[in-house]
Amino acid sequence: MANSDPIPRDQAPPSDSEETNGADEISEEGEEEEDTEYEEFEEEEEELDPVRERERLKSIFRRLSTDPVHVRVHDVVIKGNTKTKDAIIEAEISDLFKKPRTVQELVAAASIANARLKQLDVFDSVSITLDAGPAELPGTTNVVIEVVEASNPLTGNVGVFSKPEARSWSLEGSLKLKNLFGHADIWDTSGAFGWDQSLEIGTGVWVPRFKSVPTPLSARAFLLSQDWLKFSSYKERLMGLNFGLLSTNNHDLSYNLTWRTLTDPTRMSSPSIRRQLGHNVLSALKYCYKIDRRDSHLRPKSGYAFSSTSQVSGLWDLRGLKFFRQEFDLRAAMPLGFWNAALNVGLSAGAIFPLGRNFTKLSTSVPDRFFLGGHSSLVCSLGGPSSLLGFQTRGLGPNDMRRVLNLNKDEGSSVQSDCHDFVGGDLAVTAFADVSFDLPLKIFRDAGIHGHAFVCAGNLAKLSEGEIRNFSTERFLKTFRSSAGVGVILPTKFFRVEVNYCHVLKQFENDHGKNGIQFSFSSPL
Amino acid sequence: MGDSRSSGDRHLFLVARKPRFGLPTACPSCLPVYLYLKLANADFSVEFDSSFPDSDHIPYVEYGESVALNNEKGGVIELLKEEAILDLNAKHTSLAIPDLVSTKAMVSSWLYEAILYELWIAIGGDVARNIYFSDLPWPIGKILHWKKIYDVKKLLGVTKVNCEERELEIYKKANEAYEALSLKLGDQVFFFDNRPTDVDALFLGHALFVLHALPETSELRSNLLKHDNLVKYAEHLKAELQLDSTPSSTQPSSSSKDASTSSAPRRKPSSGWGAKPNPKPKKEKTEEEKKFRRRAKYFLATQLVAVLVFLSLMGVPGDSEMDDEDAVDYDEE
């Protein structure tokens, strides 16, 4: 520690006569001086210690962050879980703490473990501490995971949204019961009521893992009724089960068993729809691959995204619907370098084919076909061809004439209700280009309100019932519908609002395209 | 995209339930409509629907851009008469009309109720299942079957308390109707003026269903068999209208499962429920089998010839291996 001599060496020694007393006095004084100086020295040392301690710690942290400090995990201790099974937590993090050999790797693994446990959504907080290992085992550490289970296992939320497949807006609410059996299981019940009197009720369960299956599993029972009378003269009621078999960041595999009933209470449907009325069973396996490297899914400015969805139906019994359905969706975003602007482009395509002998002559089920139109966001939605701004929901494509009522046979008068039913297409292609930019006022920029200009195009074609022979790529490209417009996007806390002015550039007979202002509400997440 | 059946085209399209038990359509609601079109010598095609057994709009007839649904304005036959598409009663004198109307009312109510009771409540589920639900997956068919039984009981006012009483009442009315019709028919070919009317279509449909679809244990069938002239009337018209041959149906345009039902029936009628042997369908099956076998022979022969040609042109597979070995030796040298 300190090496300085406490007694100054330039001081003369005291005389003898005076020395005794003086010496005593001097010695006493000297001793007092020595004590004082020693105390001063100790105070100086104490003042220097915190500084040195800080320096010492800084050097340790620098060493830990830059130099490989070898360490080994001796044990993982879990605390705070009264309901959640240890096995569930261990399964989430077990593979993370086997491999790290240095402190840096261990800290990285701990942050991943923290994220994984928080993702289970059954803990209020998760903290991971690296404690010293047993004294007899130097170079080891104990990982202490302390969780605080959700104090209130019941949560709920309510929102107003518009979906691409729905006709209008819907009020949605859900209740979640977390960790009922200690397996990080989440039970939820949800309901959605649409403005057009559509109704969806569902209940399900999600578990992060089940026995030897390492990926999340889910099961859901649902009842859904939708009203397509205005567009296609039928009402749809679905009742069924959905099982999520595999769910990772990029892959999703699910099985759907649905009893679907189509009815026409108005009795005005076209012959094509009339022949589709009745009961059907949909027993389908659906695989979805999705990769999204965009920097944001609400306002992407760079990156790309791709999704592919394949669906095979007709797996159970030979009496259900049998078809193969494929969708692709490709998006790209690139910054333009001014006004925080970005160009988004996208291309989507989808096709459905019936399965069976002479499949070219068979028909596909109307609800499984592709429909274009509606107000959903071009940029945010990723999942196949569906949206075409400027056109009404299900507002273009193959159609069939509705029933004619002969009111007075003598006068020959007749009434035809709203003319046509849109029956969907077996092949669909859409494309769009969208430029988003900041608005001039700072208040808008601070609130995230921005503008966009877009152009989009799409088309549908029928391939089933022998129509594939009449299909011509040239005619398909020539009959593309298109629209362009500008709009403002307002992201709020509860939903994302798009207000667009659309101008239809090209439409055909019986299409329901309309110039004007359109609103769209979607989830803010 | 428009409908191929444009306005002004008087070809009719009848959508009914599928054929079974040797009948062109096994549904007791669809059969009278089919027979009405046959008796009127209408130009029509039949399509079969097997996905909507609990609908009340089937059968229906499409003509041009219009359609006559069974759940509107008294039914398909009444609508066809009202629209002046087909009216079997048009040529009958006004004197016969009151008698015709009252007979029709008796057939449409008493005998219709008797059929409903017999099919859905009295004889058990097999006949109804074969007619309506055999093309649907079992759970859905079962649920719809139970729902239909419940609806029929509600319609007929049958409860656990009054079940026997109601049964006696229904059979009594049916017997009275059979006796009255038997007296009315006598030795005539048709009920009124020796010309077909909608009453003939309605009763013929009823009689053919009772005789061919219901099992021998059916009380309604036993009661009908007591009236020889009614049975002869039904069998005579069945032969006359050539109902034994399966109806020609258009190419199926709806869901894929209709492909199996709208063509000539390939399934055998269910055993044990009074299905009579039918020589003509067997002959057609035999011809189809012969055609299939002939084509299969041609296919196999073509394949064999192709293999032989390949072998003769390319040589034996072993020769090529020896060539390869020689090549290796040559390379090594």
Asked if B55 reaches chain A (Cβ–Cβ under 8 Å), the answer is: yes
Band (A47; pLDDT cuts 50, 70, 90): low
Q: How far is B149 from chain A (nearest CA, A)?
A: 18
How many angstroms separate the first and last alpha carbons of chain A? 60
d(CA A96, CA A109): 6
Band (A264; pLDDT cuts 50, 70, 90): very high
Question: What is the number of residues in chain A?
Answer: 525
Across A62-71, A165-174, A274-283, B248-257, the highest mean pLDDT is recorded for A274-283
Which residues does residue A491 pair with via DSSP β-bridges, in sequence order?
A: A496
pLDDT confidence of residue A18: 40
The residues, any chain, with a CB within 8 Å of residue B268's CB and separated by 6 or more, are none
The residues, any chain, with a CB within 8 Å of residue B62's CB and separated by 6 or more, are A271, B5, B12, B13, B15, B68
Averaged over A71-95, what is the pLDDT?
84
Q: Give the 3-state secondary structure of residue A201.
A: strand
Contact A319 B49 (CB under 8 A): no
φ/ψ (deg, to 5) at A235: -110, 145
d(CA B135, CA B131): 9
pLDDT confidence of residue A161: 62
Q: Give the 3-state secondary structure of residue A264.
A: coil
Is residue A511 predicted with pLDDT exceeding 60?
yes
Asked if B256 reaches chain A (Cβ–Cβ under 8 Å), the answer is: yes
Band (A21; pLDDT cuts 50, 70, 90): very low
CA-angle at A121, arms to A116 and A123, nearest 5°: 90
What's the alpha-carbon Rg for chain A, to the nearest Å?
36
Q: Give the 3-state secondary structure of residue A216.
A: coil
pLDDT confidence of residue B325: 43
A503, two tokens: 């101008």
pLDDT digits (tens, 9 = 90+) for A344-396: 999 999 999 998 888 888 899 999 999 999 888 888 878 889 889 999 889 99
Place of tokens 């009337």: B233
Angle (deg, nearest 10), helices A24-66 and A103-119: 60
> Which chain A residues touch B3 with a CB distance below 8 Å?
270-272, 400-401
pLDDT digits (tens, 9 = 90+) for B39-62: 999 999 999 998 999 999 999 999
d(CA B282, CA B278): 7
Chain-centroid distance, C-alpha A49 = 52
φ/ψ bin of B130: left (φ > 0), alpha (ψ from -120 to 50), beta (otherwise):
alpha
Is residue B271 predicted with pLDDT exceeding 50?
no
For residue A367, give the nearest of A307, A281, A289, A430 by alpha carbon. A281
ipTM: 0.72
pLDDT confidence of residue A374: 85
**CA distances for B212 relative to A156, A188, B86, B207, B310, angstroms:** 61, 54, 28, 8, 57
For A264-322, strand residue ranges (E) read 278-292, 303-313
Contact B66 A271 (CB under 8 A): no
Band (A3; pLDDT cuts 50, 70, 90): very low
Asked if A281 reaches chain B (Cβ–Cβ under 8 Å), the answer is: yes
Given a contact cutoff of 8 angstroms between Cβ atoms, the answer to whether A464 and A275 are in contact is no
d(CA A265, CA A362): 26
Averaged over A452-476, what is the pLDDT?
93
d(CA B37, CA B248): 14
Given a contact cutoff of 8 angstroms between Cβ atoms, the answer to whether B32 and B202 are in contact is yes
**CA distances for B288 relative to A207, B25, B48, B305, angstroms:** 55, 22, 21, 26
Band (A22; pLDDT cuts 50, 70, 90): very low
Given a contact cutoff of 8 angstroms between Cβ atoms, the answer to whether B18 and B246 are in contact is no
Across A45-54, A308-317, B247-256, the highest mean pLDDT is recorded for A308-317
For A63-153, strand residue ranges (E) read 72-79, 123-132, 140-149
What percent of chain A has pLDDT above 70? 84
pLDDT confidence of residue A112: 87
The DSSP element (H or E) to which A452 belongs, if any, is strand A450-461
| β-sheet with B66-69: strand ranges across | B44-48, B12-16, B60-63, B66-69
Torsion, CA A324, CA A325, CA A330, CA A331, rounded to 10: -160
pLDDT digits (tens, 9 = 90+) for B274-323: 334 444 444 445 677 777 777 787 777 777 767 766 666 665 444 444 44
CA dihedral for A315, A316, A317, A323, sign (positive or negative): negative
The letter for the amino acid at A224 is L
d(CA A141, CA A159): 47
What percent of chain A has pLDDT above 90? 36
pLDDT confidence of residue A62: 77
Asked if B56 reaches chain A (Cβ–Cβ under 8 Å), the answer is: no
DSSP collapsed to 3 states, chain B:
CCCCCCCCCCCEEEEECCCECCECCCCCCHHHHHHHHHHCCCCEEEEECCCCCCCCCCCEEEECCEEEECCCCCCHHHHHHHCCCCCHHHHCCCCCHHHHHHHHHHHHHHHHHHHHHHHHHHCCCHHHHHHHHCCCCHHHHHHHHHHHHHHHHHHHCCCCCCHHHHHHHHHHHHHHHHHHHHHHHCCCCCCECCECCHHHHHHHHHHHHHHHCCCCCCHHHHHHHCCHHHHHHHHHHHHHCCCCCCCCECCCCCEHHHHHCCCCCCCCCCCCCCCCCCHHHHHHHHHHHHHHHHHHHHHHHHHHHHHHHHHHHHCCHHHHHHHHHHHHHHHHC
Asked if B250 reaches chain A (Cβ–Cβ under 8 Å), the answer is: no
pLDDT confidence of residue B125: 76
What's the alpha-carbon Rg for chain B, to the nearest Å?
27
Band (B6; pLDDT cuts 50, 70, 90): very low
Is residue A325 predicted with pLDDT exceeding 90?
yes
For the ranges A43-47, A225-229, A306-310, B252-256, the lowest mean pLDDT is seen at B252-256
Over the range A273-287, which residues count as b (16 or more CB within 10 Å of their CB) and which as e? bbbbbbbbbbbbbbe
Q: Which residue in B53, B252, B255 is closest to A280 by CB distance?
A: B255
Is residue B259 predicted with pLDDT exceeding 50?
no
> Which chain A residues touch B7 with a CB distance below 8 Å?
404
The residues, any chain, with a CB within 8 Å of residue B163's CB and separated by 6 or more, are none
Band (B243; pLDDT cuts 50, 70, 90): confident
Asked if A354 reaches chain B (Cβ–Cβ under 8 Å), the answer is: yes
pLDDT digits (tens, 9 = 90+) for B125-135: 789 999 999 98
Query: How many CB atoms within 10 Å of residue A413?
Result: 10
Q: Give the 3-state secondary structure of residue A117.
A: helix
A288, two tokens: 């979805």
For the ranges A104-118, A470-484, B253-267, the lowest mean pLDDT is seen at B253-267
For the ranges A177-186, A495-504, B7-16, B81-90, the lowest mean pLDDT is seen at B7-16
Is residue B326 predicted with pLDDT exceeding 60?
no
pLDDT confidence of residue A454: 95
Asked if B112 reaches chain A (Cβ–Cβ under 8 Å), the answer is: no
d(CA A189, CA A202): 6
d(CA A139, CA A68): 13
Averaged over A1-22, what is the pLDDT?
40
Q: Which residues of A, range 361-390, sit inside 8 Å of B by Cβ?
A: 361-363, 365
Contact A275 B49 (CB under 8 A): yes
Band (A19; pLDDT cuts 50, 70, 90): very low
Averaged over B211-229, what is the pLDDT?
94
Band (B252; pLDDT cuts 50, 70, 90): very low
Beta-strand relationship, A140-149 and A123-132: antiparallel
d(CA A303, CA A331): 8
Q: Across all residues in chain A, what is the average pLDDT?
A: 83
Q: Give the 3-state secondary structure of residue A265.
A: coil
- Greater confidence, B78 or B250? B78
A275, A406, A414, best to mutate vs chain B, most B CBs in 10 Å: A275
For A133-168, strand residue ranges (E) read 140-149, 154-162
Is residue A6 predicted with pLDDT exceeding 50?
no
Percentages helix, strand, coil for chain A, rounded to the nearest 5?
A: 20, 45, 35
Q: Which residue in B49, B60, B65 is closest to A401 by CB distance?
A: B65
pLDDT confidence of residue B321: 42
Q: Which residue in B69, B144, B254 is closest to A363 by CB distance?
A: B254
pLDDT digits (tens, 9 = 90+) for A407-440: 554 555 555 555 899 999 999 999 999 999 998 8
Asked if B72 reaches chain A (Cβ–Cβ under 8 Å), the answer is: yes
pLDDT confidence of residue A316: 65
Given a contact cutoff of 8 angstroms between Cβ atoms, the answer to whether B19 and B249 are in contact is no
The residues, any chain, with a CB within 8 Å of residue A304's CB and separated by 6 or more, are A293, A294, A330, A331, A332, A333
Q: How far is A347 from chain B (nearest CA, A)?
A: 26
Averaged over A230-246, what is the pLDDT?
92
Does A491 sit behind a cis peptide bond, omega within 30 degrees of 0 on the bond before it?
no
Q: Across all residues in chain B, what is the average pLDDT?
A: 79
d(CA A213, CA A196): 41
Given a contact cutoff of 8 angstroms between Cβ atoms, the answer to whether B61 and B30 are in contact is no
d(CA B180, CA A136): 109
Is residue B15 predicted with pLDDT exceeding 90?
yes
φ/ψ (deg, to 5) at A83: -105, -40
d(CA B104, CA B117): 19
Contact B15 A272 (CB under 8 A): no
pLDDT confidence of residue A132: 83
